[in-house]
């Protein structure tokens, strides 16, 4: 599958910047909000951007490595239980999406469970979890390709329903390990530095997680970004990569969540140029590798609240800041409109 991701068209940059500078405020005094307003104006190619049908897609998938419980404190079954929780409206991401009027869609990308026909669940299952990459690649090239394509077509559907700002979340016990492996592969930071607490490993358990992942990393030598995603990824991660690529192709504004989603983005960014032009980094996760991945991308997120949950929660919590950026750009008076003088007379 091929994506055509064009760089931001900057022909309106000086017009939008001028509009921002003429608002009734000292130049630059709305700080990062001004940068976001400009970025979204450029993405949408207008000086009056809007945020339409904001949506978060949560991809869920299981990981072969999680069956043994060596790298994950919580058992694999929590993935399917949390999917039911999302569908019943009980998870953190439900609370925040309801709070900010963000549509939430839950996708079975590859959970190790047969769900009943249940309203609200999008069935895009590639397989019942990935293979254990201690022994073999997590998925085949075909499965990885299918996951990328599926993520992309789900974004197309959301776009066709009128969404122009999208965030991604994930659920998959063990996926902090997959994200660490991908991070190390793409950033070239040693794997030990990429492995963190995930849902809460500490002390000896963390050393064990590092040792297991070090040996996994040494075992495989993927020759391309696609192969790395297939070797180390999860179905929910590969679907997120495809979803990000399609959203950038469609010139949507993309809200990047925490450690796992950023790992999916780092893969997308290695595959295609210009993806970052469409991304807003929502928060810095407390998962220790996240800051390093952000440094690698040279990006500074909007907030740092010590969160380390995933599910898209950082994106949902940061969303109102983005609405403020659009609100000031569209609703604030200019000096002329408000008859406020800019010079002594």
Ligand X SMILES: O=C(O)c1cccnc1
Q: Note the residues at the interface with ligand X (CB under 6 A).
A: 176, 198-199, 257-260, 285, 287, 290, 308-310
Nearer to ligand RBZ, 129 or 310 (CB): 310
SS3 292: helix
Report the C-alpha gap between 281 and 294 in whole angstroms: 9
Q: Which stretch binds ligand RBZ (CB under 6 A): 225-233, 241-249, 307-315, 320-328?
A: 307-315
SS3 272: coil
* Catalytic residue from among 134, 249, 311, 344: 311
- Alpha carbons within 13 A on the beta-carbon side of 260: 36
Exactly one of 310, 314, 318, 322 binds ligand RBZ (CB under 6 A); which one? Answer: 310
Handedness of CA 170, 174, 180, 186 (dihedral sign): negative
311 is catalytic: yes
Q: Which of residues 110-149 bind ligand RBZ (CB under 6 A)?
A: none
Report the C-alpha gap between 82 and 169 in whole angstroms: 13
Q: Which stretch binds ligand RBZ (CB under 6 A): 33-41, 170-178, 288-296, 333-341?
A: 170-178
Exactly one of 177, 184, 269, 284 binds ligand RBZ (CB under 6 A); which one? Answer: 177
Q: What is the dihedral of CA 177, 172, 5, 124, to 10 degrees?
A: 140
Residue 174 interacting with ligand RBZ (CB under 6 A): yes
Residue 176 interacting with ligand RBZ (CB under 6 A): yes
Nearer to ligand RBZ, 198 or 242 (CB): 198
Report the C-alpha gap between 216 and 321 in whole angstroms: 40
SS3 169: strand
SS3 129: coil
Residue 170 interacting with ligand RBZ (CB under 6 A): yes
Least CB distance from residue 189 to ligand RBZ, whole Å? 18
259 binds, among ligand RBZ, ligand X, none (CB under 5 to 8 A by kind): ligand X
* The token pair that represents 112 in the structure block: 């190790």
From residue 93, alpha-carbon distances to 181, 183, 233 in Å are 26, 24, 23
Nearer to ligand X, 49 or 167 (CB): 167
Residue 74 interacting with ligand RBZ (CB under 6 A): yes
Exactly one of 16, 33, 42, 82 binds ligand RBZ (CB under 6 A); which one? Answer: 82
Exactly one of 171, 238, 254, 326 binds ligand RBZ (CB under 6 A); which one? Answer: 171
142 burial via Cβ count (<10 Å: 0-12, 13-18, 19+): exposed
Report the C-alpha gap between 40 and 37 in whole angstroms: 5
Report the C-alpha gap between 14 and 277 in whole angstroms: 17
Residue 172 interacting with ligand RBZ (CB under 6 A): yes
Binding site for ligand RBZ (CB under 6 A): 72, 74, 78, 82, 170-177, 198-199, 309-311
Q: Annotated catalytic sites, by residue?
A: 311
């Amino acid at each position: 599958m091929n994506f055509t991701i064009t760089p931001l068209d900057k022909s309106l940059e000086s017009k939008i910047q001028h509009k921002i500078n003429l608002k009734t405020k000292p130049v630059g005094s709305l700080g990062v909000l001004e940068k976001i307003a400009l970025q979204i104006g450029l993405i949408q190619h207008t000086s009056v951007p809007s945020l339409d049908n904001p949506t978060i897609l949560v991809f869920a998938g299981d990981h072969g490595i999680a069956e043994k419980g060596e790298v994950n404190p919580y058992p694999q079954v929590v993935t399917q239980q949390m999917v039911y929780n999302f569908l019943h409206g009980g998870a953190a991401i439900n609370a925040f999406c309801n709070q900010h009027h963000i549509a939430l869609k839950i996708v079975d990308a590859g959970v190790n469970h047969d769900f009943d026909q249940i309203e609200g669940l999008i069935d895009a299952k590639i397989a019942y979890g990935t293979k254990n990459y201690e022994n073999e690649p997590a998925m085949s090239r075909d499965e990885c390709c299918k996951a990328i394509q599926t993520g992309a077509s789900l974004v197309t559907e959301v776009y066709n329903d009128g969404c122009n700002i999208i965030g991604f979340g994930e659920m998959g016990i063990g996926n902090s390990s997959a994200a660490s492996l991908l991070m190390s592969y793409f950033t070239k930071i040693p794997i030990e530095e990429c492995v963190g607490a995930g849902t809460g490993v500490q002390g000896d358990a963390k050393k064990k997680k590092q040792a297991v992942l070090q040996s996994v990393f040494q075992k495989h030598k993927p020759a391309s970004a696609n192969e790395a995603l297939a070797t180390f990824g999860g179905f929910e991660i590969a679907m997120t990569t495809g979803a990000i690529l399609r959203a950038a192709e469609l010139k949507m504004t993309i809200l990047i969540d925490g450690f796992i989603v950023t790992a999916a983005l780092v893969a997308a960014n290695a595959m295609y140029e210009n993806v970052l032009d469409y991304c807003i980094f929502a928060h810095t996760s407390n998962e220790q590798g996240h800051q390093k991945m952000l440094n690698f991308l040279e990006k500074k997120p909007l907030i740092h609240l010590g969160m380390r949950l995933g599910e898209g929660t950082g994106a949902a919590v940061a969303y109102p800041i983005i609405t403020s950026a659009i609100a000031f750009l569209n609703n604030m008076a200019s000096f002329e409109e408000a008859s406020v003088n800019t010079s002594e007379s």
